[in-house]
Structure 1
């Protein structure tokens, strides 16, 4: 394991800061996005008006958004169906199963896809393995579901190594 496998291509404050213009400037034509603490707070499965506005903006700009989540089908479906967003559940990040499934389903070009997520250990690592760019966002809420707490502890150690070698990750307002 190399710490470089956990370094995101970009880091932004929140997924809602990503604009169609900034994505296109970087040649991005499709957005894969984690669900919990990236798109919605893990403990608020109904989302927010801000989420609705961001998804509408992406739809109008003809930039497909596909949720790629490690959660089970029923949980992801409940969270995204009212927004009309397609998803891949049980994605098995940090492995590439879910990312590959989404790319294959839509015929996306890997050079034109980005994975957005709040965890180095799953989202960013899976992106590296899948050969696509990544965007790290700050978690929407500071608490985590019980099964994420283990990853966060490991993530703190990896982050400390990244910061020791490269300095702090700087979160931008857009890419």
Structure 2
């Protein structure tokens, strides 16, 4: 059961993910959660750092697709400025949204990584879909009201993962950390 919540890697931020590391790990598609992973849940415009990271990935030919449990309307509004494709109503922790993206982009599970800030939804979904995952530190400390329930359960799971040695105690800045 704990293995369901074990990430492949842990990074401080999605911005630490570089095209070089993506190529080294044979990743052909980056799937990312939206709120508190790509953008702060209460700031849909993103940051200059995000804009720079997205340009770098685009120029490197690495597609970035948002996979979110949000509605299509919410995702479209949040991503309007960023011009990113998305899969809404992903049903994470189920693998539905990941499978939709996999079919849409015609890539195998071994070529996909899902980046997210929650063990209970993002990392569990990645493991359910048999794709690699990157747990990132949430961009801000506050969450939308619905996420607060997940965070409470996540604290218990994190303690167990740490005790078993399945989770690092520090955030990395490289997939090789």
TM range (shorter): over 0.9
- Map of 1:124 onto structure 2: 123
DSSP-derived class of the 1:57 partner: helix
| Offset from partner CA, 1:21-56 (integer Å, 9 cap, x none) | 011111111100000000000010111111111110
- Map of 1:82 onto structure 2: 81
1:54 aligns with 2:53: yes
DSSP-derived class of the 1:116 partner: strand
Q: Tell me, in whole angstroms, the C-alpha distance in 2 between the residues paired with 1:94 and 1:58.
A: 26
Q: Tell me, in whole angstroms, the C-alpha distance in 2 between the residues paired with 1:50 and 1:75.
A: 22
- Does the aligned pair in 2 maintain the 1:121–1:155 contact within 8 Å? yes
DSSP-derived class of the 2:150 partner: helix
- Map of 1:10 onto structure 2: 9
Q: Which runs of 4+ in 1 moved over 6 A?
A: none
Q: Tell me, in whole angstroms, the C-alpha distance in 1 between the residues paired with 2:103 and 2:87.
A: 11
1:65 aligns with 2:69: no
- Does the aligned pair in 2 maintain the 1:31–1:65 contact within 8 Å? yes
| Offset from partner CA, 1:42-78 (integer Å, 9 cap, x none) | 0101111111111100000000000000011111111
DSSP-derived class of the 1:83 partner: coil
Query: What is the root-mean-square deviation in Å for CA atoms of aligned residues?
Result: 1.0
Q: Tell me, in whole angstroms, the C-alpha distance in 2 between the residues paired with 1:108 and 1:32.
A: 12
Normalised by the length of structure 2, the TM-score is 0.96
Which segments of 5 or more consecutive residues in structure 1 lack a partner in the other structure? none
1:20 aligns with 2:19: yes
Which segments of 5 or more consecutive residues in structure 2 lack a partner in the other structure? none
DSSP-derived class of the 2:93 partner: coil
Normalised by the length of structure 1, the TM-score is 0.97
- Does the aligned pair in 1 maintain the 2:13–2:137 contact within 8 Å? yes
Structure 1 residue 174: deviation in Å?
Answer: 1.5
Q: Tell me, in whole angstroms, the C-alpha distance in 2 between the residues paired with 1:167 and 1:104.
A: 31
- Equivalenced residue count is 174
Counterparts of residues 107-122 of structure 1 (less than 5 Å) = 107-122=106-121
